Amino acid sequence: MLRLFQTHQIRKQRELSGGLWDFATLPEDGTKPVAKKAFVPGCWECDPDTVSYRGRARYERDFFGGGNIRLELKGVSHTAEVYLDGEKIASHYNAYTPFAAVVTNLPEQNHHLQVVVDNSFGEQSALHVENDYQSYGGITRSVALEELGDMYVTRLHVTPVKRAGVWHAKIEAGVRNLTDRKLRGELRLCLGKQGDGERVSVPVTLPAGEEAFYTADICCRWAQEWNPESPVLYTVTALLCAEDGKAVDDLTDRFGFRQVQVEGRRILLNGKALKIRGFCRHEDHPQFGCAIPVEAMQQDLLLMRDLGANSVRTSHYPNDELFLDLCDETGMLVWEENHARGLSEKDMCNPNFERQCEDCIREMILAHYNHPSIYIWGILNECASHTEYGRECYASQFSLIRSLDASRPCSFASCQFKTDICFDLPDVVSYNIYPLWYHNTPPADYLADLYDWVQKETKGAGKPFLITEVGAGGIYGYRTPAKVKWSEEYQAEALEKQLQAILSDDNVSGVYIWQFCDCRVCDSWFGGRPRTMNNKGIVDEYRRPKLSYEVVKKLFKAF
Ligand code: ADA
């Protein structure tokens, strides 16, 4: 499945994923390659023959087509090289953002597609590193093949703005000319429940091979607001017509009329202060790795809803757009963040780091801009925000985000206790805290001490304050009257005290529990991670509830 709704009626699009491709590992240590069929999307770690394979592998299949084509891969973990009929047409780093290749004037015939995937670690990979989550291997999200005409719609962004009590939709659309001659035409922009509402037409003039951008501002008196309780979605369609009026391409997306603002210590959604009750969630499952089927995504959302959550944090990377489609439809607020977890100043000095972070930010915002469920962009979870060099990285990434999207606040989750020097940069100050787990300070004392320091000693004073992680470990099925750490009893008691302290503190705009479900971690993290898993889930990796489930449900629903 590509999306939960149809993105094209004119442009021909088909899914190349959703079946078995030829697969072979490409070992470089002399071991015998594994050659077989593999399902796409999928992770090779879910196949017993390649359960621990780390390195390069090749996926391949044929398809029939021709003319101008656009091939989009929604996620390849973690580095891809794409070949068409033996010629490289694309390469991409990072498992969590989509990328595409456009190839023109293909002969109408069978073509051979190869994707060489690499999930190995090394200096070439500054973000996928040995970490407290698994970097899987595979074509882990969907693959789409599209047929284009002489020109096509490259982008369609909608920014909802309320002026004098009336909603407006500010639209930006990109169009690209694939020919070696100037082209003229018309771009028809339509808004509405099924694109049957307001229409605006703009003339298009495109020099050979160029891309141009067009804007429109449409007043929508009929608009119903999107909010968590009533997540009303609308479609926006860009219909591209040639000079003779014939429709040659189209792109449809969905959006919602909602505005997010920061006002003093509050985060406002359509003018109403948010109180976040959420979970951090890794894209991880024992049967699917990070290639979670959309049905299982919805199952996770149902459990989070049952627990009383109103938000999910995509820790620590951009999520599958199918998951974001579900959040849009069900009103689950999303903190989406670029890909980074716990990188030291030394890690951040990797020569590839800044480019790989900024590529991820660009691709995340370009692809996910219209999702109303995303209310905030996050970056660089627990990286070196206590150092001058780290600060330079945070500053450049925040300015990039703001240049791409001025409609959402941005933040980062810090773990630098009373040493962070970056709180002047984000719109929202966010902290990951673990009283009663990594230290035994009473949660209310720890929270008050930290908040007081932020207000008195940093430029984060007066900004909204979020707890973006809190929790404790509990191994599913480990019960003991001793209630020692790693028991389900200890986890439940710790969360009771942590959440009581946080949710009853009016200075705090909300909390994300670390974490929704147990997840796989890299082999080298086995020391502090029993089962080589991060066991702080409220449910285990099979989504079986622990004792803390009812504790969280009671507290999330009480506040
Ligand atoms: C950090 C980190 C999480 C996870 C957590 C833990 O806050 O952001 O990814 O590693 O600690 O389980 O200790």
Q: Does the beta carbon of 381 lie inside 6 Å of ligand 1?
A: yes
Query: In a 10 Å sphere around its CB, with 0-12 CB exposed, 13-18 middle and 19+ buried, how is residue 272 labelled?
Result: exposed
| Inter-CA distances, 534 with 92, 430, 517, 546, Å | 28, 22, 9, 14
Using a 6 Å cutoff on CB, does residue 451 contact ligand 1? no
Distances (CA, A) of 42 to 18, 131, 290, 293, 520: 10, 21, 8, 9, 16
Say how many Å lie between the CA of residue 12 and the centre of ligand 1. 43
Instruction: State the Cα–Cα distance between residues 211 and 177, nearest whole angstrom.
Output: 6
DSSP letter assigned to residue 504? T
**Is the pLDDT at 375 greater than 90, yes or no?**
yes
Tokens matching residue 437:
């787990």
Residue 282's closest CA among 36, 495, 24, 95?
A: 95
Q: Dihedrals φ, ψ of 44, to 5°?
A: -70, -15
What share of the chain in percent tops pLDDT 70?
99
Other beta carbons within 10 Å of 388:
9
Residue range 100-113: mean pLDDT, rounded: 98
Ligand 1 centre and the CA of 104: distance in Å?
45
112: left (phi over 0), alpha (psi -120 to 50) or beta: beta
Is residue 534 in contact with ligand 1, taking CB distance under 6 Å?
yes
| DSSP at 339 | S
Torsion of CA 344, 347, 349, 354, to 10 degrees: -100
Are 166 and 221 a contacting pair, CB within 8 Å?
A: yes
Dist. CA 326–CA 308, nearest whole Å: 17
> Does 518 contact ligand 1 (Cβ within 6 A)?
no
Question: Radius of gyration over alpha carbons of the chain, in Å?
Answer: 24
Contact predicate 152/240, CB 8 Å: yes
Cα(471) to centroid(ligand 1), Å: 9
Mean pLDDT, range 515-540, rounded to an integer: 98
Alpha-carbon distance of 116 to 138, in angstroms, equals: 9
User: Which residues lie closer than 8 Å to 29 by C-beta, 6 or more apart?
Assistant: none
Task: Identify which of 158, 232, 229 has the alpha carbon closest to the alpha carbon of residue 200.
Answer: 158
Two structure tokens written together for 278 = 């959420």
Question: What is the model's pLDDT at position 192?
Answer: 79
Lowest mean pLDDT among 184-188, 190-194, 314-318, 464-468: 190-194
Instruction: Locate the DSSP E strands across 41-98.
Output: 56-73, 76-77, 79-84, 87-93
How long, in residues, is the chain? 559
Confidence of residue 193 (pLDDT cuts 50, 70, 90): low
DSSP state of 320: P
Angle in degrees, CA 28, 34, 40, rounded to 5:
110
Pocket test for ligand 1, best of 382, 412, 430 (most atoms within 8 A of CB): 382
197 confidence band (pLDDT: 50, 70, 90):
confident
Separation CA 416–CA 239 (nearest Å): 49
- Reported as a pLDDT band with limits 50, 70 and 90, residue 199 is confident
- Half-sphere CA count of 326, side-chain side, radius 13 A: 20
Count CB neighbours of 241 within 10 A: 18
Give the amino acid at 380: L
Cα-to-centroid distance, 476 and ligand 1 (Å): 18
Residue 234 pLDDT > 80, yes or no? yes
Encode pLDDT of 151-181 as tens digits: 999 999 999 999 999 999 999 999 999 999 9
> At residue 194, does pLDDT exceed 70?
no
Collapsing DSSP to helix, strand or coil, 111 comes out as strand
**Farthest-apart Cα atoms in the chain, separation:** 79
Query: In DSSP terms, which residues pair with 101 in a beta bridge?
Result: 71
- 412, 470, 514: which to mutate for ligand 1, most atoms within 8 A of CB? 514
Q: Which string of DSSP letters, residue by residue, matches 242-291?
A: ETTS-EEEEEEEEE-B--EEEETTEEEETTEE--EEEEE--S-BTTTBT-
| 196 band by pLDDT with thresholds 50, 70 and 90 | low
CA angle 297, 300, 306 (to 5 degrees): 145
pLDDT score for 74 = 98
Q: Is the pLDDT of residue 339 over 90?
A: yes
Query: How many A from CA of 268 to the centre of ligand 1?
Result: 28
- The helix/strand/coil state of 477 is coil
Distance 128 CA to ligand 1 centre (A): 16
- Residue 413 pLDDT exceeds 60: yes
Helix, strand, coil abundance in the chain, percent, nearest 5: 20, 40, 40
Q: How far apart are CA 180 and CA 325, in angstroms?
A: 37
Ligand 1 atom nearest the C-alpha of 515 is: 12
What residue type is assigned to position 391 of the chain?
A: R
Mean pLDDT of the residues in the chain:
97
Q: Above 70 in pLDDT, residue 195?
A: no
